[in-house]
A and B are shown apart, each in its own frame.
Chain A
């Protein structure tokens, strides 16, 4: 079995090289036979990597402990779901998973575009296959997943495996990495089309129209992956932190930020023919940040709880990045003439400017995160001494940037394309601004003194009023014109321009998530050693440990505390936090108990047994508004899905036409071209 798996990967490597060269030579010599052969080769690469992946998965499920990877990441007692999860639980398997997703994307791209973009597609295949070859080099020669245990020349099988890291044995960890990988890998598609359009000197809007849905879907996958990761950290690590500014967490958010910037700035290119170079830079940065993030997770370059450990793999990634970035920069510089702006910015007070500021702030945030992540490495390289950069640094730098971004989210819809008059600004800003200050005054009166929290809540209302007014104005107009009820009119409005109103829903989701983040300013925590029957308080809750139980199954042994929850003397719930020790790895883990409510979560961790007598040490936390983060993500999800639905009316974006100049009347956009 291991031989077939290894051979499949080796063949995939050879076929990918063939696909690369046949697509390039085919495009160069306009040889359709070679181009067609490269397309078939992409399907074959997918088939071969799927075969290898299937064999590894079979080994994990069936417990083939002759394979080192299986023995190190699975065991007999693990449930089936976690045996499958073990595919991406270790370095070798997860890189094979990366390769497999890439090959899937490659096959889908080639299949869906088999009858269109004849000049672009060979180069798209070339970019896809270059990346595929890089990952197949890793799969075949650096971290092969099909190595076996051997003594001398004899292959041996271990009786059982070590099992998956207990922290990874949770449902969210079964979904989080695939989502994140679908996001990471998917950004190669818009990048491949962008590069193909540069090579073929057609850097117009074609590649953007082609890849808009890909970018949105990929962005959604990555958003889902990041949020699931947050949910995992919140639930599994035992202290309720959903974001710790860990380098690997940061690595996942960096391409997400640049992709978000791209999704906004791409509208400038579609509507005005502007920012073409910038869009190329953003789509390339997003792809290379994905590769950089993968390197960060796997190379041991930075210390992280999520990393795979130190390995020499970082050198391969660094080489790939150096070659890829250099080639991309050269290509963009060489094609600058084809990337000229088609129109001008008519006013600083315009929607166009708000997009520029949005991009600036997003990129500033991206840089701040990247800088903070790499600063320990830089400081060690320059001064010989490592300087720690942890959450306080990131919070101090990124909270103001995030709040400014939230402000821009509200401002964007209030300013018109091209130019906004002072009168319209006054009219549009009046109610959102009044609402914002009224809420801030009210919250201040209610005793909230945290300035960031006040500002954040105020801005959240500012953006909400802005978005609601957009929906109300539009749907009222439709309701009166078409005689519909307000709900139907709102649906009709959204259907007429799904991209715009879906985008507003995404913004609303982000606002709701910000409300959840702001709740962290009011977190409470208590650690208490409680004997059986003894009570302690946190916030409005009284907690009483009533029982301790223990038990075991094939996978782990457990101790469970029963904690009754009282509010104003009335029992409202019983929570059962648990401590486990996994048999195969001898590693302890917590299974926290959470009472989830939209207002606040009560979060209990069974930290330890009491030092004296029967009892437990309970870590109790109250996390206000944390549930809003998950609800907000649902808004992002629904909004993005709406964006993907075609609008009822096909949109056209007329470019600016200059009617007259000082020297005379000019027809069309000759001025802009001049």
Chain B
């Protein structure tokens, strides 16, 4: 019984291995298109072009489809469009630069701009007033300040 179990297990291991040869359908042309498409298997964050997941149920059929469409003379853009038509915009690996997808690209820049404005306002508000014209300070008071300043400067960079 145990021997039978072991045989079945190895059968499964070999079967799984042979059935999922990742070399299938991965020519440079297919990889080029595949890199624009997200692998939607749910187990990885790769693209169809670079997914090397064992047992990936999405990337392999997708590559097969890319090969078919390329054989029929479809351009890269048309192939990507075909995937979008079937799967929706989630088929693309990154947002488009049109429509709502554009917002995805713009928001980080917008946030940085907003942060710079906030920083500008902060600096303007908390910047010390320009030094005033020098006023006569009694020499004994000035000496006292100089001693204090020297002590503080000594302590600061220790």
Chain B associates with chain A: yes
Chain A 338-381 interface residues, beta-carbon cutoff 8 Å to B:
341, 344-346, 348, 353, 356-357, 360, 363-364, 367-368, 371-372, 375-376, 379
Whether A371 pairs with B55 at a CB distance below 8 angstroms is: no
B26 lies within 8 A of chain A by Cβ: yes
Contacts of A660 in B (CB 8 A): 132, 134-135, 137
Quick one: CB contact mask for A461-496 with B, threshold 8 Å, 1 for yes?
000000000000000000000000000000000001
Whether B123 pairs with A608 at a CB distance below 8 angstroms is: no
B74 lies within 8 A of chain A by Cβ: no
Whether B89 pairs with A387 at a CB distance below 8 angstroms is: yes
Whether A239 pairs with B52 at a CB distance below 8 angstroms is: yes
Contacts of A368 in B (CB 8 A): 108, 111
Whether B108 pairs with A608 at a CB distance below 8 angstroms is: no
Q: Which of A360, A401, A552 contacts B9 (CB 8 A)?
A: A552
Contacts of A664 in B (CB 8 A): 135
B1 lies within 8 A of chain A by Cβ: no
Whether A652 pairs with B155 at a CB distance below 8 angstroms is: yes
Give the residue name and chain of the B residue nearest to A580 (CB).
B13
Contacts of B105 in A (CB 8 A): 393, 397
Whether B54 pairs with A238 at a CB distance below 8 angstroms is: yes
Contacts of B135 in A (CB 8 A): 660, 662, 664-665
With A364-B111, A579-B13, A609-B18 known as contacts, the answer to whether A379 contacts B104 (CB < 8 A) is: yes
Total A-B Cβ pairs within 8 A: 200
Whether A245 pairs with B45 at a CB distance below 8 angstroms is: yes
Quick one: CB contact mask for B135-154 with A, threshold 8 Å, 1 for yes?
10100010001001000100
Contacts of B89 in A (CB 8 A): 379, 385-388
Give the residue name and chain of the B residue nearest to A587 (CB).
B55
Whether B123 pairs with A348 at a CB distance below 8 angstroms is: yes
Q: How far is the CA of A166 from the CA of B10 in the complex (A)?
A: 17
With A496-B158, A662-B132 known as contacts, the answer to whether A550 contacts B22 (CB < 8 A) is: no
Q: How far is the CA of A658 from the CA of B148 in the complex (A)?
A: 12
Contacts of A386 in B (CB 8 A): 88-90
Count residues on chain B whose CB falls below 8 Å from chain A CBs.
65
Quick one: CB contact mask for B40-54 with A, threshold 8 Å, 1 for yes?
101111110010111
Whether A662 pairs with B133 at a CB distance below 8 angstroms is: yes
Whether A529 pairs with B46 at a CB distance below 8 angstroms is: no
Q: How far is the CA of A371 from the CA of B126 in the complex (A)?
A: 30
Whether A387 pairs with B9 at a CB distance below 8 angstroms is: no
Whether B104 pairs with A371 at a CB distance below 8 angstroms is: yes
CB proximity of B112 to chain A, nearest CB, Å: 5
Number of chain A interface residues as a range? 35 or more
Whether A654 pairs with B108 at a CB distance below 8 angstroms is: no
Whether A364 pairs with B9 at a CB distance below 8 angstroms is: no
A590 lies within 8 A of chain B by Cβ: yes
A301 lies within 8 A of chain B by Cβ: no
Whether A654 pairs with B156 at a CB distance below 8 angstroms is: yes
Q: How far is the CA of A185 from the CA of B121 in the complex (A)?
A: 35
A547 lies within 8 A of chain B by Cβ: no
Whether A527 pairs with B22 at a CB distance below 8 angstroms is: yes
Whether B93 pairs with A397 at a CB distance below 8 angstroms is: no
Whether B111 pairs with A611 at a CB distance below 8 angstroms is: no
Quick one: CB contact mask for A577-604 with B, threshold 8 Å, 1 for yes?
0010101001011100000000000000
Whether B94 pairs with A579 at a CB distance below 8 angstroms is: no
Quick one: CB contact mask for A380-416 with B, threshold 8 Å, 1 for yes?
0011011111111100110001000000000000000
CB proximity of A659 to chain B, nearest CB, Å: 6
Q: Which of B92, B100, B128, B158 contacts A344 (CB 8 A)?
A: B128
Contacts of A116 in B (CB 8 A): none
Contacts of A392 in B (CB 8 A): 47, 93-94
Contacts of A95 in B (CB 8 A): none
CB proximity of B53 to chain A, nearest CB, Å: 7
CB proximity of B44 to chain A, nearest CB, Å: 6
Chain A 603-650 interface residues, beta-carbon cutoff 8 Å to B:
605, 607-609, 611, 617, 619, 649
Chain B 85-116 interface residues, beta-carbon cutoff 8 Å to A:
88-96, 100-101, 104-105, 107-108, 111-112, 115-116
Whether B92 pairs with A388 at a CB distance below 8 angstroms is: yes
CB proximity of A288 to chain B, nearest CB, Å: 18
B72 lies within 8 A of chain A by Cβ: no
With A368-B111, A393-B104 known as contacts, the answer to whether A356 contacts B152 (CB < 8 A) is: no
Q: Which of B22, B43, B101 contacts A607 (CB 8 A)?
A: B22
Q: Chain A interface secondary structure, helix, strand, loop or mixed?
A: mixed
Q: How far is the CA of A611 from the CA of B21 in the complex (A)?
A: 8
CB proximity of B107 to chain A, nearest CB, Å: 5
A305 lies within 8 A of chain B by Cβ: yes
Q: How far is the CA of A396 from the CA of B95 in the complex (A)?
A: 12
Contacts of B6 in A (CB 8 A): 552, 557
Contacts of B141 in A (CB 8 A): 665
Whether B108 pairs with A345 at a CB distance below 8 angstroms is: no
Q: Which of A388, A527, A609, A657 contacts B26 (CB 8 A)?
A: A527
A160 lies within 8 A of chain B by Cβ: no
B4 lies within 8 A of chain A by Cβ: no
Of A387, A393, A649, A658, most B-chain CB atoms within 10 Å = A387
CB proximity of A391 to chain B, nearest CB, Å: 6
A3 lies within 8 A of chain B by Cβ: no
Q: Which of A237, A360, A659 contacts B116 (CB 8 A)?
A: A360
Contacts of A417 in B (CB 8 A): 156
Q: How far is the CA of A171 from the CA of B79 in the complex (A)?
A: 43
Whether A244 pairs with B46 at a CB distance below 8 angstroms is: yes
B66 lies within 8 A of chain A by Cβ: no
Whether A661 pairs with B9 at a CB distance below 8 angstroms is: no
Contacts of A389 in B (CB 8 A): 94-95, 104
Whether B22 pairs with A608 at a CB distance below 8 angstroms is: yes
CB proximity of A89 to chain B, nearest CB, Å: 17
Tell me the B residues contacting A by CB distance below 8 Å: 6, 9-10, 12-14, 16-18, 20-23, 26, 38, 40, 42-47, 50, 52-55, 88-96, 100-101, 104-105, 107-108, 111-112, 115-116, 119, 122-123, 126-129, 132-135, 137, 141, 145, 148, 152, 155-156, 158
Q: Which 7 A-B pairs have the closest CB atoms?
A: A662-B132, A344-B128, A368-B108, A654-B152, A244-B45, A388-B38, A609-B17
Tell me the A residues contacting B by CB distance below 8 Å: 237-239, 241, 244-246, 274, 303, 305, 341, 344-346, 348, 353, 356-357, 360, 363-364, 367-368, 371-372, 375-376, 379, 382-383, 385-393, 396-397, 401, 417, 496-497, 527-529, 550, 552, 557, 559, 579, 581, 583, 586, 588-590, 605, 607-609, 611, 617, 619, 649, 651-654, 656-662, 664-665
16 example contacts (A-B, Cβ-Cβ < 8 A) are as follows A239-B50, A305-B44, A346-B128, A353-B123, A357-B119, A385-B90, A387-B89, A389-B104, A391-B45, A393-B93, A397-B105, A397-B108, A528-B23, A608-B54, A609-B14, A651-B158
